[in-house]
Amino acid sequence: MRTALLVVDVQQGLFDREPRPAGADAVLGRIVGLVAQARGRGVPVIWIQHERAGTALEHGSDGWQLAQGLPAPDGDACVRKTTPDSFLGTDLQARLDADHVRHLVICGYASEFCVDTTVRRAAALGYAVTVAADAHTTHDKPHATGEAIRAHENATLPEITSFGPVIRAVPCAEVFPAAPSAEKRCPICGEPNDCRPAATGRYDTPCWCRDVEFSADLLARIPKERAGHACICRRCAESSGAAGAP
């Protein structure tokens, strides 16, 4: 399922003026990290920028620009919006559909307004959503701190199931799982595979392949540099007719 990262309203007029959003610097740092991870994985990054004439977020003004410290959006898509809904009156959905995106990672500002509304609208449109739980924020309000509002959003958004797609809120460290290493891939086809062989060459990990007899021909297909790493996966075993393969 193709993923895109949405960075919502992280702009100078919202982050660089006093009072700043709760944990502004820490959130900015995590967003920088998410953008780097996304780009490293070929995940599209889309910058959402709010605008309103006659305010600090007037289009083209300094306040409308991305917050200081963020990477330049070279080659990334940028979407202008005028409401808390990043889809309403914008070309965001058309961009996502053209790129066959069905899963969105969402971070930014403000937790209870533009982040909340964009998450709900995305799910209503059929997109699975991952909220970067520690990479969105808001300003303190008379009724609650920015930290408390963020915690509330992280707790309540995943409870919305009626739209159909799953909404989850996870820390940035869990948003883009590390790709399996060579030691956790089938040595023949390269697909992820956590089963590991015993030092004797028999496969004693308690999993599906424990009692499988791999043919000499199949074992001979393992490149020398990958011998003794992860076990041969179920698909390769089945295709070779390994004895005992389910």
Alpha-carbon gap, residue 218 to 236, rounded angstroms: 9
Question: What's the pLDDT score for residue 228?
Answer: 53
User: pLDDT tens, 194-235?
Assistant: 555 443 344 444 455 555 666 777 777 776 655 555 567 767
168 beta partners: 130
pLDDT tens by residue, 55-82: 999 999 999 999 999 999 989 999 999 9
Question: What is the average pLDDT across 13-35?
Answer: 97
For position 132, what pLDDT does the model report? Answer: 98
Residue 140's pLDDT is: 98
Write out pLDDT tens, residues 163-176.
999 999 999 999 99
pLDDT for 209: 57
Q: Tell me which of 178 and 133 has the higher pLDDT.
A: 133
pLDDT score of 135 more than 90: yes
Q: What is the pLDDT of residue 207?
A: 53
**CA distance readout (Å), 237 to 106, 180, 215, 216, 224:** 40, 20, 9, 12, 18
In 51-176 the beta strands, taken as DSSP E runs, fall at 77-81, 101-109, 128-137, 167-170
Residue 85: the pLDDT is 98
Predicted confidence at residue 205, as pLDDT, reads 42
Cα gap 76→44, rounded to integer Å: 7
Summarize the confidence of residues 32-38 as an average pLDDT. Answer: 96
pLDDT tens, position by position, 87-133: 999 999 999 999 999 999 999 999 999 999 999 999 999 999 999 99
Q: Specify whether the CB–CB gap between 38 and 105 falls below 8 A.
A: yes
Contact 14, 109 (CB under 8 A): yes
Task: Record the tokens describing residue 66, joined without a space.
Answer: 């991305």
